Each structure stands twice: as C-alpha cells, then as structure tokens.
Amino acid sequence: PKKKSYVDFPIMPKHPREEDQVDQKKDSIDDPETVLVHPSIAEGAVSVPGSKSISNRVLLLAALGNGKCKVSGLLHSDDTEVMLLALKKMGVQYSWNDTKEVLSIQGSGGKLSLPDSELYMKNAGTATRFLSTAVNLIQEKGSVVVTGNERMKVRPIADLVDALKATGCDIEYKEGKGCPPILVTTTPNGWKGGEIVLAANVSSQYVSSILISASYAREPVTLRLDDRGEGVCSRPYIDITIDLLKKFGIDIKEEGQNVFRVGNKGFENKSDWYVEGDASSASYPLALAAVTGGKVTVNNCGNESIQGDAAFCRILEKMGCSVQQTEGTTTVTGPKDYKLKAIEGDVDMDSMTDLFMTLAAVAAVSDGTTRIVNIANQRVKECNRIEAMVQELTKLEVKCKELETGIEITGNPALRNRSKDKIVFIDPRDDHRLAMSFAVVGAAMPGIAITEKSCVNKTYPTFWAHAQSLGLNVKAGGTAVKKQKTSK
C-alpha cells in the first residue's frame, strides 16, 4: 500500500531554533551543553539501557494488573520518569530497591484513581498516547488533563481520540485540534470498550494504547484497524505489545487481518519481569563500530529480542560489516579499510523507522547512494526528522534530499579527511536520536560539534559515557566526558 508522506502535515511548526530570533545565540564549543566529537576507533562492549518500548508497556501493564510485579532492567530516562509520576498521581504504589535496579509495582486491578492535577508528559509520545486511553478506566466522576511540552502539543493524537470518543469517551482538545492537551471527563462507569475502528496509518502507539487498557473495559474489545490504504504503521511495535499481553496472561487473539479481540476479565501480574536492552539504543554503539573500523558488542540485545530494531545489524552487514549475534548479544565489526558501501535499491525501513537516522549517519561516509523509504511518520516525531537530517547533513557538505516517504543520501568517504578546524555545529532540535546519530558521523568525520547534549536523556542517559568508554574522543564544553565502566 502507498505510505502516507506527511509532506503537507498541517500542524508541524518550525523548530524554534530555525526562527530568526535564535541568531542572538552564538554556538560555542565552550558551552557545557555542546559536545565536540573527534574521530577514533570504537572498541569494547556495553550494556544499553532497558528498552523504552518495553519499559513503558510493562509499567502500565503492571500498574493495571492484579498483585505485585517486580521489574528489573527498566529504562531510567525522562520518558519512563513521566510515566511513573503519572501512575503515582493515579494512585499506583511502587518502590525501588536500595540499588534502584528493581522496581516493585502494586497493581491496581484496573482501578486507577482520579489525579488531583494534570498529567504532564513532557515530550513522551508513547506515555502520552498510552495514558490517553488508560485515564478513561477511572471509575470516578471528574476530569483529567493529559498534556506535555510545546513539542508534544503539536504531535498528532486525533485518530486515537476519535476512536475513543466513538466508544462513548468524553474527550475535548484544550488547545490545537488533533493534538494534546486533552481534557478527559471520567464517570463512575469507567470505559465501555466494545467494537472499535481505529485509523492505524499514523502511529502504532494508538493501537497499543487501546490493547493495553482493553482488559479492564466494561465490554470485551474488538479492535479493527483501518490502514486507509497506506498500510499499518510500524507493525513490529504492535507485535511487541501483543507479545507482552500474552506473557501477562491477557486473552488476546488476532482474527483475520488487523482485527484483534481482547477479553475483559483483567489479569494477574507476573511476579517478576526483566526488560531487555533497547534495540534502538543498541544501533548507535554498533554503528560506531561500523564507521570507525572497530568492534563493539552490545551485551543485552540479541536475536531473541522481541524488538524489530534488533535486526538493524543486518543492514550494517549488507554495507560491509561483520556481524555475530547470539540470543542475547550483538557484535559488529567495521571494515578495517573503512570501505562501507551503500545498499543497492530502496531500503524499506517501515519495520524500524526510528533507526533511519542511524543508517543515514553510516550512509554519509559510505560509497554510493542510499535511498531510505517508508519512514514518513518520522516527520511527526520529536521534530521533522527527515527535514532535520537533510539540513544538518547538508551543513557537512553531504549530498542528500528528501523523498516523498524518505531520504536519499549520497555518501562522501572523502569527508573523513575534512579539516578538524572547520567546526560545524549540529542542532539536534532537542531530539535524542538526532544527537546520537550525529555522534556516529562525528566518529568518522573531524570537526563536528553537537549542541543540546542532554537531549539523549530521553532514552539513553549514559550515551556519552558509553561512547567515551568505547574509545571515542568526546569533549563537552571543552572538557572530556567522564568515562564509565559499562561492559558488565
């Protein structure tokens, strides 16, 4: 099916740094939020943080289930922090062990409480969408506001809201139509559930949102996905949700194409749950090995991962890297002569859209032209990622252009020899994935400085320390980033 392009998506404003007034701020390598990356060889092993996708799903599932669930391997980041704070406001009790490695959650049995203030989700799209359904389970008369920062307020949620309103939910937009903040009026009857038709061509998070809360609806849920002739967006993330629901003992069946039935008898929490490493985060240290001719092992993400992004290493293999994968680990060795080659034909990244920027970073120093397609939903993420990638690579004199559903990059291996004194400042637009992708570029190309380094805290707070531990020469504000032992 033809994929939606989002080229003319009406509600995406320019990033504030693109406006004229930002010219008043001069980029400087002495800024403590700016990281200067020098080319070097990446060698070693890291354990990446727990999967964001799994962490937020497990947190909400454990909060809804009956009984206590002990979660280990959880991602410690901005996104999981806002989810936990929101759950706490809705009466969910939890506590950490002394080392903050295990979180004990006391499930609510689907009985969430009315919060006494708004649920502020920062720019956490997953948590915002998941809770937009869950708050309708509250069996009290009142109202809940689900909101976020300025960027979250222009991220789409209309298809989910439309589907929920069709089941009787009372939801209003407080500001821009089709985006948060939303005002949800709750009733003593909770959420009806029942037959639901959901447009699923914009975000898989809408689908997961309904499936996760369905067990506590008044009626069994039958969810039919309408792909509007464009295909269901990011199906692997829906598969992660289905896998987790089954492991939590929830009665879910897929009947026919894109039709899901979920029972409404609730579920008992698993007593213990381990969150595997984040396959999206793993792409960055693996890509560092690819572009530097090094060898990097990710200790906690392998071929038994339930995340579609765990297959990214196979793309690097096609570009000339050596790959070894076990059930729980992935090792990538980059070519010693640095000769990476573009993949012929279109690279369809519909199954791992978030990683197109990692591939674009590798493609920038590869020989040939790389065409990445079916990633159009990346135009409505933390920023317009396709546009941002084109703009920032162009600063480095990499030839690239936007496609209807993707991006084309013509690699220039000669840029490995560009002058280190010609500093180019990369603006990640407060987007964690943009910042980490350009760290990969900087490992191969001299003279790259990345601003807003703390934006990686959204999913990978230890990224810069991990990069340093792998041998990268990384300096923040003119000072080397502190190394950290990470291979255990």
For 24, residues 6+ apart whose C-beta sits below 8 A from its C-beta are none
CA distance from start to end of the chain: 45
Peptide bond into 446 cis (omega under 30): no
Cβ proximity of 340 and 367 under 8 Å: yes
Phi and psi at residue 456, in whole multiples of 5°? -70, -15
Please identify which of the residues 43, 78, 79, 430 carries the catalytic annotation. Answer: 79
CA distance 61 to 58: 5
Active-site hit among 57, 433, 453, 466: 433
Per the annotation, the verdict on 272 as an active-site residue is: no
458 is catalytic: yes
The Cβ-side half-sphere exposure at 79, using a 13 Å CA radius, reads 32
Type of residue found at 338: Y
Q: Catalytic annotation on 25? A: no
Quick check: helix, strand or coil at residue 159?
helix
The catalytically annotated residue of 432, 452, 453, 466 is 432
Of the candidates 15, 56, 123, 129, the residue annotated as catalytic is: 123
Active site residue 432: yes
CA dihedral 182, 188, 190, 196 (to 10 degrees): -80
Give me the catalytic one of 270, 379, 458, 466: 458
Active-site position among 354, 392, 408, 431: 354
Active-site residue 354, yes or no?
Answer: yes
Determine which one of 43, 159, 382, 427 is catalytic.
Answer: 382
Residue 382 annotated among the catalytic residues of the structure: yes
Q: Identify whether 299 is a catalytic site residue.
A: no
Nearest to 111 by CA among 183, 211, 216, 268: 216
Q: Do the beta carbons of residue 394 and residue 426 sit within 8 Å? A: no
Q: Quick one: how many helices (H) and strands (E) in the chain?
A: 12, 25
Catalytic residue numbers read: 79, 123, 354, 382, 432-433, 458
